[in-house]
Amino acid sequence: MKEPEIIGAGPDKVLCIIGTRPEAIKMAPVISAIANCPGLHAHVLMTGQHREIASNALESFDIHQINWLDISSTSHKLADQAGELLKGINAYMAVHHPKYTLVHGDTTTGFAGALASFYSAVPVGHVEAGLRSGELSDPFPEEANRRLADQLCHKLFAPTSIARDNLLREGLSDEKILTTGNTVVDAVRHLSRKIKPARELDELRNVLGPQKRLALVTTHRRENWGDPMRHICQAIKHITKAHEDLQVVLPVHPNPVVKDMVESVLKNVPRVHLVTPLSYEALIALERDADLILTDSGGIQEEAPEFGTPLLILRKTTERPEALESGLAKLVGTCEQTITDEAAHILKGKHTKIDRKNPFGDGHASQRIATAVETHINSTH
């Protein structure tokens, strides 16, 4: 059997399970912090949902040692995916015997990783625990995944005080919870210091026109498939037409359900640039340099406040109320007229950046998590 790829020199293994690019981004600084603990080493297991773009995201943080879990099922049914993940992760743990597991967020990979760890009697920590939309089926299945994972975990790393309060309200023990800040702030601060302006990046140099204001749009979530996404795209079309000094960059998700809808409305619309999925560095550069962001992404809701870029959230609910309360974001749903009006309100000003403190963290969340994991493992020796 091939020896696993590890990061760090300590004797105790911490298994870091990742499925998607957002998970890779938010776990990258945690992996680095684990590897820098003298008693630990990090063992990265990726389940392959976003294989290329997730591994590229880790490489942005100089993390190249990746172990792959190859899932045989090609089914798009959530129950089939969850079953395959649980079976595969459980078998992997039986061979590699980690001392601790870390999972992230609200994906099926995270939930299956927490359940497999629970079944294997391996303590598991949930990075970004306690986020809640308040509706079990919105977003689907993410809200259920995060609630179920929280019930299984040894330690709950809550990114904010609101997330901590959610966990306490559900009856979870205060001793299990550690408020850390969000690791995405660590990631964004690390990368933004070394990324060139968006217009100077190879990926965007031939896309972005000079001397025009910039809007970044991302939309892909399952609850927005169909008519909601059509309304979003129609709104983008109207916004661009109404603001002749505006150009829009929209990285198109490869899922045919998303791709076909976006292209049917926005292909060949002047100053709307439909591009293939971008590297994380390019995405961060756009978030930093944009005048406006419209998104249904959870991660961007946390990243954009670092740059003070105004954000319109294309969803009915959000599990990140901190962005709303800080005044850095507004929940606008998928109504075509509402999106158009709110964008016009922001773009009417000459200077759109908002000078507010990032409500999601101070850039030291990853070290707090690594220290907590190392302390627990040392207490069991």
Name the catalytic one among 23, 128, 306, 342: 128
pLDDT band at residue 83 using 50, 70 and 90 as cut-offs: very high
Q: What's the predicted TM-score (pTM) here?
A: 0.84
DSSP-derived 3-state class of residue 375: helix
Overall average pLDDT of the 161-182 stretch: 97
**One-letter amino acid of 310:** P
How many helices and strands in the chain, by DSSP H and E? 15, 13
Say yes or no to pLDDT of 324 above 70. yes
Q: Is 253 designated active site? A: yes
**How confident is residue 32, by pLDDT bands cut at 50, 70 and 90?**
very high
Residues 6+ apart with CB under 8 A from 359: 160, 305, 322, 323, 325, 326, 328
Report pLDDT for 288. 94
The whole-number pLDDT of residue 362 equals: 93
Range 36-45 average pLDDT: 96
Residue range 9-37: average pLDDT?
A: 95
Q: What is the pLDDT of residues 216-227, one digit of tens each?
A: 999 999 899 999
Q: Which of these is catalytic: 222, 238, 271, 364? A: 222
Q: Which of 126, 132, 164, 220 is catalytic?
A: 220
Return the beta strands (E) in 122-176 as ranges: 124-127, 155-158
* pLDDT 10s digits, 243-294: 999 999 999 998 999 999 999 999 999 999 999 999 889 999 999 999 999 9
Average pLDDT taken over every residue of the chain: 93
Range in 36-40, 87-91, 170-174, 190-194 the model is least confident about: 190-194
What CA–CA distance (Å, rounded) separates 17 from 24?
9
User: Per the residue annotation, which of 106, 302, 322, 342 is the catalytic one?
Assistant: 106
Tell me the mean pLDDT in the region 80-95.
95
pLDDT digits (tens, 9 = 90+) for 340-372: 999 999 999 777 788 888 899 999 999 999 999
Asked if 73 and 108 count as a contact pair (C-beta separation under 8 A), the reply is: no
For the question of residue 291 being annotated catalytic, the response is no
Q: Which pLDDT score, from 0 to 100, does residue 50 have?
A: 65
The least confident of 21-35, 36-50, 82-96, 122-136 is 36-50
Q: Is 97 one of the annotated active-site residues of the chain?
A: no
Decide if 142 is catalytic: yes
CA nearest neighbour of 228 among 73, 313, 333: 333
Catalytic residue status for 128 = yes
Look up residue 244 and give its amino acid.
E
Looking at residue 1, its pLDDT comes to 47
pLDDT tens string 98-153: 999 999 999 999 999 999 999 999 999 999 999 999 999 888 899 999 999 999 99
The whole-number average pLDDT for the span 78-99 is 95
How far apart CA 371 and CA 381 sit, in angstroms, is 16
Note if 193 is an active site residue: no
Residue 202 pLDDT more than 80?
Answer: yes
Q: List, as one string, the DSSP characters of 202-235.
A: HHHHTTSPTT-EEEEEE---GGGTTHHHHHHHHH
Of 23, 142, 281, 342, which residue is the catalytic one?
A: 142
Domains of the chain: 12-181+364-380 (3.40.50.2000), 199-347 (3.40.50.2000)
Which pLDDT does position 354 carry in this prediction? 84
For residue 49, what pLDDT band results from cuts at 50, 70 and 90? Answer: low
Give pLDDT tens digits for 177-198: 999 999 999 999 988 888 999 9
